[in-house]
Amino acid sequence: MSGNSGDVRVLGIEGTAWAASAAVYDAGADTVDIETEAYVPDSGGLHPREAAEHMSDALPAVIETALERAREMGEDRRPAIDAVAFSRGPGLGPCLRLVGTSARALAQRLDVPLVGVNHMVAHLEIGRHRSGFDAPVCLNASGANAHALAYQTGRYRVLGETMDTGVGNAIDKFTRHVGWSHPGGPKVEAAAEDGSYIDLPYVVKGMDFSFSGIMSAAKEAYDDGEAVEDICYSLQENIFAMLTEVSERALSLTGRDELVLGGGVGQNERLQGMLTEMCDHRGADFFAPEDRLLRDNAGMIAVLGAKMYAAGDTIAIEESTIDADFRPDEVAVTWRDPDSPPRRPATGTVQGAEATVHITDDEVVKRRLPRTYRHRNLDERLRRERTRQEARLTTEARRLGVPTPVIRDIDPDTSTITFQTVGHSDLRDALEASHVETLARHLATIHDAGFVHGDPTTRNVRVGDQIYLIDFGLGYYTQDPEDHAMDLHVLAQSLAGTSTRAEQLRETLEATYGDVGNEAVLASLAAIEGRGRYQ
């Protein structure tokens, strides 16, 4: 492992859902010793009451085992522990309360400080620690969660996330329908080895993704007699391609060239292979920790706990409440340089999230080259559909008076569009309140006409004598206020990931849209971000 937090030892306790786990991290030696007793239901998925009962039964034993190992490290058989770290959330409330109670009791027993750790940030930090990367984008792919994160001005910002259920839970819903026992992910991975590709839904909305449609389609395909091996193969191909595409979008948006993977679903070899291939194509570095540090474990809690302890980020016993909905972007990152890392500079030929763009003073040639990490059938369909949609909606927006580049040529056979060059910079490099006001008016105009941009990030807006919308490839026709609200949600996420004044600019966005747009869209935006599904 690279880096340490001094010669300290921290005992970590994890218990957000499945894993009753304790670990000792020796920062001086940079080693982690983990003891885990996992909950495995007799049938079906996770049962919160049974999971809590398992946690109550298993936690004392794994903690005592970790303490015994700490005694072996210390002098006179005394546990050489400098702090106790525990997972405060997100997770199942009954399980988290047991973890919190155990951690408080142990910290008092040992007379050491207590550190409260966000479980999802720990998934990110263990990858950053093991890889030695400075400022990676992180893809978290676990049972209850799926999101892309990057560090910006003192916090880890959510750049994209699931709009319904976590990736592991989505796969488990299908395997329960088939009648397979938990855990479902490894069974899908094994069955997929003998499968062939069939068409299933693929839903990426800007930087976000949705699994509900593909799960329903997979269940229907099974009920209609499709071979389960083909469904499993296609589930993996589509779901993991969605995660990989969003990861590439996050790299492109932030200008980073490092990606780490976290979460139990990250153990899947096909997902790791896709991410490796995508990063190789971009010239980026990719790292996945070993399996024991990908799945839920106390080792990652102890490692991040040591970093927080070294930064003085401890909590009093009376303030150590758990938070079942503890979002990663709510965590003040005290253990890192508060300055945001610089972006990798763009060149005349820019590798975007789904296309290679060659820019001159006069024209922009955008070519959607094959993404070899995706199945060929899926890749060909997406490149063809997105090229046609981009041309159609770019022209439609222009007819409505929204500035867009003039299309000079289209070659559907090579998924290539040639545009007039517009603007002198991306919005992310010219984030002024007046520009955001104009952009809000542009979005309200196209929404009123019955379609969405689909991906209005700060990379897909050009600033010049006017504010131009570009890259409508993920756009579509819709009158649904929630679909229109997704445009605002995607833009707000990209502001958080690229601006030091994200909150003020977001207020400008919503105020201006409220003046000129449909009030139902802002109500839908509040509903999207208040459902508690983004953990």
Instruction: State the catalytic residues.
Output: 455
Whole-number Cα distances in Å, 86 to 119, 322, 421, 425: 9, 10, 53, 45
Whole-number Cα distances in Å, 372 to 195, 240, 354, 390, 440: 19, 13, 11, 22, 36
| Residue 471 falls in which region: left (phi positive, over 0), alpha (psi -120 to 50) or beta | left
Contact 40, 86 (CB under 8 A): no
What letter would DSSP give residue 267? G
Pairing relationship of beta strands 137-141 and 9-14 according to DSSP bridges: unpaired
Question: What residue type is assigned to position 12 of the chain?
Answer: G
Q: Which two tokens stand for residue 12?
A: 């970590």
End-to-end CA distance of the chain: 28
Contact 150, 256 (CB under 8 A): yes
CA–CA separation, 265 vs 145, rounded Å? 10
Whole-number Cα distances in Å, 280 to 53, 128, 229, 355, 379: 45, 19, 29, 15, 18
What letter would DSSP give residue 85? E
Q: Which two tokens stand for residue 303?
A: 């490692």
Helix (H, G, I), strand (E, B) or coil at 199: coil
Question: What residue type is assigned to position 401 of the chain?
Answer: G
Where is 171: in which H helix or E strand?
helix 167-178
CA–CA separation, 161 vs 535, rounded Å? 9
Helix (H, G, I), strand (E, B) or coil at 118: strand
